[in-house]
């Protein structure tokens, strides 16, 4: 009897271990091929593209309801109609979406697992999250939208304008607290930009995402919060917070009362508008025909009036970059963000270590 018990225990252990091992082998097998492998030249012979024959999976690295997810769910259903195959959105949150990205890279690069990424991809390397890069490890199929960060203060704040706020921060370095969506995010970078260019000093309070940062400013837990305009505009209208300025050179269409900070501080104008980007990515190594196919379909999807209306309603700026243009855009963006974070002492490692060059 005793022997049976031991035997059955061992058997079940083996069973479970084998489950575990099969889970392990996938990443392990892929480990020896380091990510920066140039895409092999695709064989030119197939005359007709046999894609997609089954549903596609679009992975979002943040939880449902967040900005990246909301934007993905705006464009993907339109794309799905055009492609004629189901495209499921899967949320795999964790490690500033790097968990999802490495998951995508661990699957076969056949265009059936795509990554819907955002600007945080640009700072993974310098922030020490993971050694992954949007250009080296991914192919941007299409960058679709940019959001606009704004600076807001609590409703009872003594500051009525961005000048007053920044002047106070220059006179009292480190006294004002600014809530951000987390280290290395656009709100953080935007705040650092103010510090670097205007000579003021803030204390940054990182939150677990944009939502909590907005809540914090509404309740006066911080002196200000930088977040995307769509998550604050309703509270601004309702008097639950005051938006002092947007990080743009021109007014946001439909929001004329928000002062563009570029008109107040000329020295900032060349660095802005500087908002997070969102786009559809495929793993490096995906056949070029598939990329071309998806790009073409994305072009169609973005012409849909529903997408246009969607963007207008939630104050997104539409962008339309693919191929070389997208690479150039990403290179610039990454370089700006990485060096700013590094220069201001917020980054873990130098962008140079990853071959990110400083912009002229």
Segment 269-298, which members bind another protein (CB under 8 A)? none
Rounded to whole angstroms, the Cα distance separating 76 from 244 reads 34
Among residues 226 and 272, whose Cβ is nearest to another protein? 226
Min dist CB 337 to another protein, Å, is 13
Min dist CB 45 to another protein, Å, is 35
DSSP 252: B
Among residues 222 and 272, whose Cβ is nearest to another protein? 222
Helix (H, G, I), strand (E, B) or coil at 280: strand
Rounded to whole angstroms, the Cα distance separating 299 from 314 reads 21
Segment 117-176, which members bind another protein (CB under 8 A)? 127-130, 174
Regarding 92 and contact with another protein (CB under 8 A), the answer is yes
Residues forming beta bridges with residue 10, ordered by sequence position: none
Among residues 219 and 355, whose Cβ is nearest to another protein? 219
Rounded to whole angstroms, the Cα distance separating 155 from 146 reads 27
Regarding 63 and contact with another protein (CB under 8 A), the answer is yes
The residue range among 85-93, 134-142, 191-199, 256-264 that interacts with another protein, by the rule CB under 8 A, is: 85-93
Regarding 27 and contact with another protein (CB under 8 A), the answer is yes
Min dist CB 128 to another protein, Å, is 5
| The one among 314, 330, 338, 356 contacting another protein by CB under 8 A | 314
Pairing outcome for strands 242-246 and 259-260: parallel
Regarding 55 and contact with another protein (CB under 8 A), the answer is no
Min dist CB 131 to another protein, Å, is 10
Regarding 26 and contact with another protein (CB under 8 A), the answer is yes
Question: Closest Cα to residue 204, out of 223, 218, 220?
Answer: 223
Residues forming beta bridges with residue 219, ordered by sequence position: none
Going from the C-alpha of 187 to that of each of 77, 118, 351, the distances in angstroms are 29, 14, 20
The angle, 0 to 180 degrees and rounded to 10, between the axes of the packed helices 288-303 and 67-83 is 100
Regarding 20 and contact with another protein (CB under 8 A), the answer is yes
Among residues 99 and 263, whose Cβ is nearest to another protein? 99
Segment 202-241, which members bind another protein (CB under 8 A)? 203-208, 211-212, 214-216, 218-222, 230, 233-235, 237-240
Max CA distance (Å), the chain = 84
Among residues 11 and 49, whose Cβ is nearest to another protein? 11
Rounded to whole angstroms, the Cα distance separating 204 from 158 reads 19
Regarding 103 and contact with another protein (CB under 8 A), the answer is yes
Residues forming beta bridges with residue 203, ordered by sequence position: 177
Among residues 281 and 329, whose Cβ is nearest to another protein? 281
Regarding 74 and contact with another protein (CB under 8 A), the answer is yes
Tokens 């900032």, residue located: 268
Q: Which helix (H) or strand (E) holds 348?
A: none
Regarding 114 and contact with another protein (CB under 8 A), the answer is no
Question: Closest Cα to residue 314, out of 253, 356, 225?
Answer: 253
């Amino acid at each position: 009897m005793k022997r049976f018990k031991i035997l059955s225990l061992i058997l079940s252990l083996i069973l479970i271990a084998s489950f575990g091992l099969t889970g392990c082998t996938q990443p392990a097998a892929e480990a020896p091929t380091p990510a920066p492998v140039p895409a092999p030249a695709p064989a030119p012979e197939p005359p007709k593209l046999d894609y997609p024959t089954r549903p596609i999976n679009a992975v979002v690295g943040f939880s449902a309801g967040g900005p990246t997810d909301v934007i993905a769910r705006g464009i993907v259903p339109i794309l799905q109609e055009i492609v004629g195959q189901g495209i499921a959105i899967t949320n795999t949150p964790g490690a500033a979406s790097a968990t999802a990205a490495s998951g995508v890279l661990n699957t076969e690069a056949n265009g059936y697992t795509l990554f819907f990424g955002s600007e945080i991809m640009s700072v993974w390397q310098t922030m020490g999250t993971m050694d992954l890069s949007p250009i080296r490890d991914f192919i941007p199929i299409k960058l679709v939208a940019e959001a606009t960060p704004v600076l807001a203060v609590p409703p009872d704040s003594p500051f009525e304008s961005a000048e007053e706020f920044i002047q106070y921060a220059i006179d009292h370095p480190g006294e004002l607290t600014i809530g951000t969506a987390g280290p290395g995010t656009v709100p953080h970078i935007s705040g650092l930009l103010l510090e670097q260019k205007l000579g003021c000093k803030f204390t940054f309070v990182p939150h677990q995402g944009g939502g909590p940062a907005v809540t914090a400013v509404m309740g006066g837990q911080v002196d200000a919060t930088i977040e995307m305009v769509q998550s604050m505009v309703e509270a601004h209208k309702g008097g639950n917070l005051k938006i002092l300025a947007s990080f743009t050179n021109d007014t946001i269409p439909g929001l004329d009362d928000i002062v563009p900070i570029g008109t107040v501080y000329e020295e900032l104008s060349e660095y802005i508008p500087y908002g997070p980007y969102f786009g559809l990515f495929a793993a490096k190594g995906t056949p070029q025909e598939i990329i071309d196919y998806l790009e073409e379909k994305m072009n169609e999807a973005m012409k849909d009036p529903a997408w246009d209306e969607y963007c207008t309603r939630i104050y997104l700026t539409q962008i339309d970059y693919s191929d070389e243009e997208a690479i150039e855009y990403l290179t610039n963006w990454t370089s700006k963000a990485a060096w700013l974070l590094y220069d201001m002492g917020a980054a873990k490692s130098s962008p140079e270590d990853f071959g990110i060059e400083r912009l002229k």
